[in-house]
Structure 1
Amino acid sequence: MRNVRTVPLVRLAHEDGTERAVVVLRVGLPPALSLTDVVTAIAHVQLTVSRLAPPGAAVHVEPDVAADEATPTEAIVIRALE
């Protein structure tokens, strides 16, 4: 997928108290992307995954964007699931 460098995390679960599937992905994005490009990349990933996930699944996409090219995107910014 354009602008997605890595997908270092994919988690599958069910919501508490329901059987609704939840898919969480972390995607590594290049640091030079504009905010508009980040939003577009997230939307494309979310749409693609929602087409592959069970019907009605919640799909959450977390972006990792490094501050510079020398820093791996997976090492920075979002660690909400950990």
Structure 2
Amino acid sequence: MHLHGIDSLRVEISESTLARLLAEGHLGASELRCLDHASGRRLRRLCLKSCVWRKAGGGCNAPGCCPLRREGAKC
């Protein structure tokens, strides 16, 4: 199986780790391919939370925004 001409790996990653990688800008949704609809929905939700979080300057003050689930804490 190839993804953009490069051999791909099939791995599993926790939602919290994926949220952190997206929020910190280490990984983008376009670099991933979901293997089922439920995962695609969850990825879209994580991407939206990441975008809101990053637009807010990376702070966790807005309830429900922190993709790292650290509302009220300093990141």
Shared fold by TM > 0.5?
Answer: no
Q: Whose strand fraction is larger, Structure 1's or Structure 2's?
A: 1
Query: TM-score, normalized by length of structure 2?
Result: 0.33
Q: Whose helix fraction is larger, Structure 1's or Structure 2's?
A: 2
Which of the pair has the greater relative contact order for Cα pairs under 8 Å at 6+ separation?
A: 1
